[in-house]
Structure formats: structure tokens, C-alpha cells
Amino acid sequence: MSPQITPGQPRERVQARLPDGRIFEAPPGTPLAEIVRVANGTAEPPVVAAILNGRLCELTTPLNGDSSLTPLTLADADGMRVYRRSLIFLLVVAAHEVFPEAEIFVEHSATTAGAYYCEVRGHLPFTQAELQKIESRMREIAAADEPFVKTQAPLSEAVEIFRARGEEDKVRLMAHRQKNTLVLYSLRGHRDYLQGYMVPSTGYLKTFALHAFPPGFMLQFPHSARPTELAPITPYPKLFEVFEEAGHWLDRLGIRSVGALNDAIVAGRLPEISLVVEALHESRLSKIASAIADDRDRIKVVLIAGPSSSGKTTFSKRLAVQLLAHGLHPFPLSLDNYFVDREQTPRESYRPGDRIVAY
């Protein structure tokens, strides 16, 4: 037998190696939450999830073998998603306890500061005083540090839960699910489907606020750039108008939820829906072109902004066609044409007043 190879015994402890090189030992089965609590202590922002051997995991995940462990905080995109999802569940539970008849719908992101725009059905729009009652209940539940309990339920059982609560959008969504089981989370007896991981308990949810924004309200949370505080909210009325218009048209088409969209696809309605969407888009482009044409003496340049691959170039070409139809002669200029390969990109630092030449 090689002198370097000897019979071994089952190990009583397993190791977790952190990105900074520290190694922590624990008995097999120890939840990741306990390990990061020892590793990070009371450091802010708090750890809310982890990457275990390259995979995103909840902090309730047990450590069963030697592993690499990367704690995730609210400063990390995955950590922030876990925090926001958990906060939504806390909001739903608290609102149901204070106003049992109300049903909360999270519609869309609201501001760059960090907030979701929400609407309520089954109840008049919440006043700020009513929202304060809900927020107070949320903080009471958070202070009690109650657990989010994760279970795997038969799909039929989950559907009956949603149907009993009148949540037909979830019932329709589950009708197209391929698996016969569903992961549900429970908080204070309320079971729900959250489509992703959660924090272990409500005690992790410390930074949030509710603001009236008729006809709905805003659920505010920290931004990853400032994960321990709430930034001032600056609403964008025009963007909200676009979201509201989109919601109205989805209602008219009968596809406000993903489940309803799945039903429409199965029914063969996708070509019809696509044509309606194209018609609406072309109508909006025509209105924009008309507004530009009416003010042609003043407007000389139209700037189109958006994230990568959002359709800016396509939009500019379609707008150009509409402007031609209004008697103008636009010249679309795509900045993509002025990118150069990385090895040709200038690396010099520039000072105020320097002349910058694109080539």
C-alpha cells in the first residue's frame, strides 16, 4: 500500500471555504445560515442567500460535504431578488391579516430608487393611513422572526388552495405545468407559490416602506447600490402611463396573466394577438411622428434610449418610416456603427476640455 494512501474513517465535520480563503468546519447537515452567521457576524448588509459549489441556494440548505461557499447580500443581484421576493410574501400575508377582503397584485418596478408598484382588488385603493396599518403589521411579523416554511405539494393540492382563494390566474398557470408537484412556501398559515428562493425567516426583512400612489401603492425596498437604506422615491409619470395603457390593453385582450397567455396560445390566438400588438405599436409610432412633425421647426434631433438589445435600432427605422409619411426626411444614426473592437478602443484617460475623436 502506498505510504500516502491509508484507510479512512467517516468524517465528523465538513468544511466550507469562503472566497476570502477562510475555512469553517461544521457537522454535516448544518444549515448555511449558521455558517454565514459565524463567518459574517452582524456585518451589514446581511447575508440573505449563498452560492454553494457554483449554484444559488437558500440559507436553509444543509452543508453535507466539503464545499465552496459564497455569501450573497443585498448588494448582489441574486441576493436582492431573494430579498424582494420574500418581502412581497410578507406584504401579501400582512395585508390579508389587516384587510382579509383585499387581494394584492405586484404590477411592475416603479423607480430607480427601488420599489414595486402594486394594486389592490376587492377593496378601495389603500389610503396612506391604511398602508401604515399594513406596514405596522409587516414590522410586527418581521420582529417576530417567523420562518418561511418550504414544502413540496402535489400539484392538485396546490391548485385547490389557489381555487379556494379565488386566485384563478394561478389556477390557469398551473394547468400548463408539466411536473405533478409544486414548491410552496408558508408564512403564518398562508401557503403560496413564489417562483424562487426565499430568506429563512421574516427577521431578515428590515428595510422597507409602503407609499400611497393612487390608484395603487408602492412597496419600497433598498437598492443594491445602497443596500441598508431607502432612497427618496422619484416617480416617472409618463412611464406609469405606458404601463397603465399596456395593462388596459391586456385586459381587453384577456391575457393579463401568464396563465391566460398560455390559454390563448393553446387556443391558437397567438397570430391574432401579435397582429393587435403590431397595430398598437404602429399607432403609437404614428402619434410620435405626428408630434415631431407638428413641431418640426424646433425639433432637430430625436434621441432614443434603452438597454442593450431593447430594440432601439428597429424602433428608429420604424419611426423614420412614419416621419417620411409625414413629409419629413429623417436620417437614423445608430451609435452601434461607431463601436470598435476592444483591442482598438482607446485606453487613455481624458481630462475636461480634451478633444475626443470617434473613429
What gap in Å lies between CA 58 and CA 198, rounded to an integer?
Answer: 7
Query: 115 is written with which cell numbers?
Result: 420599489
Distance (Å, whole) CA 240 – CA 316: 22
Using only C-alpha atoms, the chain has a radius of gyration, in whole angstroms, of 26
Q: Which residues of 300-338 are buried (b: 16+ CB within 10 A; e: fewer)?
A: eeeeeeeeeeeebbebbebbbebbeeeeeebeeeeeeee
Residue found by looking up cell 421574516 in the block: 202
Nearest to 83 by CA among 184, 220, 186: 220
User: Is the CB of residue 185 less than 8 Å from the CB of residue 192?
Assistant: yes
Q: What is the pLDDT of residue 346?
A: 67
Residue with the three cell numbers 444549515 = 31
pLDDT of residue 285: 92
- pLDDT tens digits for the chain (359 residues)? 566 888 877 778 999 999 999 999 999 999 999 999 999 888 888 999 999 999 999 999 999 999 999 999 999 999 999 999 999 999 999 999 999 999 999 988 877 678 999 999 999 999 999 999 999 999 999 999 999 999 999 999 999 999 999 898 899 999 989 899 999 999 999 999 988 999 999 999 999 999 999 889 999 999 888 888 898 888 788 888 888 888 888 888 888 888 899 999 999 998 999 999 899 889 989 999 999 999 998 998 999 988 888 888 889 999 999 999 999 999 888 776 666 777 777 666 555 554 444 33
Are the beta carbons of 67 and 17 closer than 8 angstroms?
A: yes
CA distance 154 to 158: 7
What does pTM read for this prediction?
Answer: 0.82
